[in-house]
Amino acid sequence: MQDSNDQASHSTNRWIEFRPSGIHGMGGFARAKIRKGTRLIEYVGRRMSKQESLAECEAGNTFVFTLNDREDLDGSVSWNWARFLNHSCAPNAEAEQDEEDRVFIVAARTIRPGEEITFNYGYDFSEYQDNPCACGAAACIGFITAEEFHAKVRRILAVEARARAKAAADRARVRAASRRKK
Ligand SMILES: [Zn+2]
C-alpha cells in the first residue's frame, strides 16, 4: 500500500510535473525541453487475463492497455501516475511497448517546457460517441478515438452536420409556408 507521502513524491519525475489541466482533471506538464524519443514515464499497472480485462472494460475501466494475446494491463491503479496524462487528437507523445510488454510514454516530437504532455488513448471506433474530446487541438475531431479512425469519424460528423442543416432548412420552409397561409 502506498501512503500519501509516497504518492506525493511521485507527482513529478525527471520530465513531468502533474498538476490540474485545462483539458481534463489532472495533467502532466513538461519540466524541461524534451527531445523526440525520450522515455517520459512508464505506464504501470496490474497485468490481468483477457477474461478479466473484458470484465474491466465492460465495467467502464478506461485505463486498460492491450499487451499481448494473453494479457492486458489495468492502468487504473493508484501508483500509475501516467494515468493522469490526457488524450489529445494531436498528441506530442505516444505509448510504446518494449519486448517485455512494458508500456512507456515516449516523446513523439520536441516538447517545450510547460507544454502539456498528451498521447492518443487509442480507443476503439465502436465507443467513440461515449468519449467526447476537449483537447483543444486545432485538429480536434471532438471524440477520443485512435488516429486510424479519425477520417471515418470526420466523415460521419460531416454527414450528420449536413443532415442537421437540411432538417433546419426544411423546418424553416415549413414555418414560412404556414405563415403565408395565414
Ligand atoms: Zn481532441
Distance from the alpha carbon of residue 7 to the mean position of ligand 1, in angstroms: 29
120 close to 134: Cβ distance less than 8 angstroms: no
pLDDT digits (tens, 9 = 90+) for 116-141: 999 999 998 888 888 999 999 999 99
On the question of pLDDT at 73 being above 60, the answer is yes
- Average pLDDT in the 42-64 region? 94
CATH 2.170.270.10 fits 4-44+79-146, yes or no: yes
53: closest CA among 43, 42, 65, 39?
A: 65
Residue at grid coordinates 479512425? 149
Per-domain residue ranges for the chain?
A: 4-44+79-146
Distance from the alpha carbon of residue 122 to the mean position of ligand 1, in angstroms: 12
Q: Tell me the pTM.
A: 0.82
Cα of 102 vs its chain's centroid, Å: 19
Bin 60: left if φ > 0, else alpha if -120 < ψ < 50, else beta.
Answer: left
Distance from the alpha carbon of residue 17 to the mean position of ligand 1, in angstroms: 22
pLDDT digits (tens, 9 = 90+) for 135-147: 999 999 999 999 9
Residue 4 pLDDT level (bands cut at 50, 70, 90): very low
Q: What is the CA radius of gyration of the chain?
A: 21
